[in-house]
């Protein structure tokens, strides 16, 4: 942490800041510049607290942190990629994982038809919302428990694993009974009560990036889950809110290689929410594979035009199958690159 004093800060102000830094558990290392005094705080202490309080002290201009505030999810702490096994699929490891299904579970017929098509095309995990967070109170809010039961039925019929969204800490336990992976949606990325509850679970959690959250805030939310006790966290980039209105969100694909540098957790991409337009999904799915994502989450519906939600960004069953065929050569290149990386990492580990 570096504390930069204002030009003309008084000796008393500087001394006071130095004492405060020491109270937070750091050693002081001050630099007398031409224009101002800059004080380095060396060591480990209560970082966030210290930053906020020092910023409030008289004579201080800015306080700049040097260390990252996330620990458990950081690649600095654990360089090796986390691999999360679900239903035989190594998410974050050597398998490119495709999650697909409708926005909402609507009926037995709909979810079974979708599940069969997802499985036939090579998907491994079925998505489907039973509890739906909707912007308007007058929109369909999901089949709730009935939706969970239908997902279980689809699982029994196809062998696909199930992921579904949880929208409050009070319904988490029920959802966890049915799901193989719990999804925390974008709007709840900073619902800390929910994150902590998810951290006490013995199930993988997929955490979607909030549409106005930075990469670092996403990692801090993952840290909530991990620090409460659950290390099996999967991240998902799904687009951020910008001034562009042609697409529903702006899919931030650079977040994928950026996250892979910063964290050992797996990173998926959701091109459905990421674009909001069916016609753009296949191109962005290819791009996601090419930039190193660990998998995809895609919305698929037997008849998007009748979907109770998110139809415009859902592929139909044939469109999904076609996209999966087109992805094949890209996934083959992805596997080559993954193996090359693993070999070089093993090599590096050997040499140490």
Q: Which of 10, 9, 5, 32 is nearest to 21 (CA)?
A: 5
From the list 298, 301, 292, the residue with the least C-alpha distance to 335 is: 292
Task: Give the span between the Cα atoms of 119 and 180, in whole angstroms.
Answer: 16
Q: Using CB under 8 A, which of 314, 319, 323, 324 touches its own copies?
A: 314
Distance (Å, whole) CA 279 – CA 87: 31
Residue 212 Cβ vs its own copies, minimum distance, rounded to whole Å: 3
Gyration radius (Cα) of the chain, Å: 23
Tokens 């050569």 — which residue?
329
Residue 111-150 contact track with its own copies, rule CB under 8 A, x = bound: ----------------------xxxxxxxxx---------
Query: With respect to its own copies, which residue has the nearer C-beta, 8 or 88?
Result: 8
Dihedral over alpha carbons 96, 328, 276, 300 (to 10 degrees): -80
Contact residue for its own copies among 13, 22, 40, 93 (CB under 8 A): 40
Q: Does 294 bind its own copies (CB under 8 A)?
A: no
Binding to its own copies, residues 3-22 (CB under 8 A)? 4, 7, 20
Task: Return the residue of 93, 228, 338, 342 that touches its own copies, per CB under 8 A.
Answer: 228
Strand ranges inside the chain, DSSP E: 2-5, 27-32, 37-42, 60-64, 84-86, 89-91, 97-101, 125-127, 161-166, 181-184, 205-208, 233-237, 267-269, 295-299
Segment interacting with its own copies, rule: CB under 8 A, options 114-122, 156-164, 176-184, 326-334:
326-334
- Contact with its own copies (CB under 8 A): which of 206, 240, 267, 317? 240
Would you mind telling me the total number of residues written for the chain in this entry? 352
Shortest distance (Å) from residue 224 CB to its own copies: 4
Could you say which residues in the range 244-263 bind its own copies, by CB under 8 A?
244-247, 250-258, 261
Q: Which stretch binds its own copies (CB under 8 A): 92-100, 147-155, 278-286, 341-349?
A: 278-286
């Amino acid at each position: 942490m570096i504390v930069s004093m204002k030009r003309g800060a008084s000796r008393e102000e500087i001394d006071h800041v130095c004492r405060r830094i020491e109270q937070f558990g750091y050693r002081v290392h001050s630099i007398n510049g031409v224009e101002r005094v800059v004080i380095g705080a060396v060591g480990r202490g209560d970082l966030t607290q210290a930053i906020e309080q020092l910023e409030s002290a008289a004579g201080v201009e800015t306080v700049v942190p040097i260390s990252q505030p996330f620990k458990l999810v950081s690649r600095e702490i654990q360089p090796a990629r986390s691999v999360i096994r679900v239903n035989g699929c190594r998410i974050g490891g050597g398998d490119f994982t495709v999650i697909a299904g409708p926005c909402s579970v609507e009926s037995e017929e709909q979810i079974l038809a979708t599940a069969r098509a997802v499985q036939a095309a090579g998907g491994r995990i079925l998505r489907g919302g039973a509890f739906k967070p909707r912007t308007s109170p007058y929109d369909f809010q999901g089949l709730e428990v009935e939706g969970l039961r239908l997902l279980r039925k689809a699982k029994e019929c196809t062998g696909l694993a199930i992921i579904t969204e949880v929208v409050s800490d009070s319904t988490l336990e029920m959802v966890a009974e049915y799901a193989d992976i719990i999804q925390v949606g974008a709007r709840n990325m900073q619902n800390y009560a929910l994150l902590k509850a998810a951290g006490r679970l013995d199930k993988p959690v997929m955490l979607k990036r909030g549409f106005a959250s930075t990469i670092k805030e996403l990692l801090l939310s993952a840290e909530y889950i991990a620090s409460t006790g659950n290390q099996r966290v999967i991240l998902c980039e799904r687009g951020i809110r910008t001034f562009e209105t042609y697409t529903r969100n702006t899919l931030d694909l650079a977040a994928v290689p950026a996250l892979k540098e910063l964290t050992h957790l797996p990173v998926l991409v959701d091109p459905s929410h990421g674009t909001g337009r069916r016609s753009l999904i296949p191109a962005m799915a290819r791009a996601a594979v090419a930039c190193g994502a660990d998998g995809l989450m895609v919305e698929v519906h037997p008849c998007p035009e009748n979907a109770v939600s998110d139809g415009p960004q859902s592929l139909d069953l044939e469109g999904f199958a076609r996209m999966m065929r087109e992805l094949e050569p890209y996934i083959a290149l992805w596997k080559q690159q993954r193996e090359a990386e693993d070999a070089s990492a093993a090599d590096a580990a050997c040499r140490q």
